[in-house]
Amino acid sequence: MKKYSRPIAFVGALIALIVFEPMVRSAESAPVKTVAGEVFDVKDVDRAPKGTRSGPPRYPTEERRNGLSGEAVIEFTVDVEGKVRDAWIFSETGRAFGDAALETVKTWKYKAGEKGGQKVNTRMRTPITFKINQ
C-alpha cells in the first residue's frame, strides 16, 4: 500500500482551530463546555466520537469496470460540533480509491468525543475498503 500524505487546507485548519468559540449551544440551547483549539487522539478521550450520519463511498468507475479492489485510510478530526474537519488521505492503494474515500468521509457527521465531561476535537483514522462482490 503506497503511503503518503496530502494535507488539505492546512492553513485554514490552523485558523479554524484558533477561532473556535469556547462555548457552543446544543440542540436544547443549553451551554456546553468545550476544550477550544486542542485536538485529542481518539485513544486519549473518555468517549470516542460516535457516527450519526455516514454513507458508503462511490466506487470509482474505472476501477469497478476493471474489477479492481482497493483500500484507503482517511485521517480526520471530529470537531466539537461533530463535523469532519482536516480530512486527508493517510494511505491508499490507488488515487481513485483515496479520492472517493476522502470525498465520502467529509460528508459524515458525529456526536463529538468527550474528555473530562467536555466535548473535544478528536483525531481519528478510518479504513475504507472497496471490494467488488462476486
Residue 63 near residue 96, CB atoms below 8 Å: yes
Query: Could you tell me the pLDDT band of residue 6, with boundaries at 50, 70 and 90?
Result: very low
> For residues 82 and 108, what is the distance between their CA atoms, to the nearest angstrom?
9
45 phi/psi in degrees, rounded to 5? -105, 160
Pick from 5-14, 74-83, 97-106, 109-118: least confident = 5-14
pLDDT beyond 70 at 3? no
> Rounded mean pLDDT of 43-57?
95
pTM: 0.71
Pick from 7-21, 61-75, 76-90: least confident = 7-21
> For residues 119 and 36, what is the distance between their CA atoms, to the nearest angstrom?
9
pLDDT at 132: 87
Strands 70-78 and 109-111: unpaired
Contacts of residue 130, defined as CB under 8 A and 6 or more positions apart, other chains included, come to 57, 59, 60, 63, 68, 69, 70, 71, 72, 97, 100, 101
13 phi/psi in degrees, rounded to 5? -65, -40
What superfamily does domain 2-130 belong to in CATH?
Answer: TonB (3.30.2420.10)
pLDDT greater at residue 119 or residue 31: 119
